[in-house]
Amino acid sequence: MGVHYGLLAYCVSYSVRQAYLDNTEAFTTLFEDEDKHRAMMEMIGKLLVEKFR
């Protein structure tokens, strides 16, 4: 059981780390690119207005 658990933990840990790194890069680009950031904020604003009308 120890070997299988160790392999599973390693695979899950690697997958979680990779997902974190991939998503961190995506979110970083949203905040570094002024046009993308503005578009995202406008869309969030529109969705909030529609939701709470």
Please state, in angstroms and rounded to a whole number, the distance separating the CA atoms of residues 34 and 40.
Answer: 10
What are the domain boundaries of the chain?
2-51
Quick one: pLDDT at residue 5? 64
Query: Is residue 25 within 8 Å of 31, Cβ to Cβ?
Result: no
pLDDT digits (tens, 9 = 90+) for 24-52: 888 788 788 889 888 988 999 999 999 89
pTM, 2 dp: 0.50
pLDDT at 4: 62
CA dist., res. 40 & res. 38, Å (int): 5
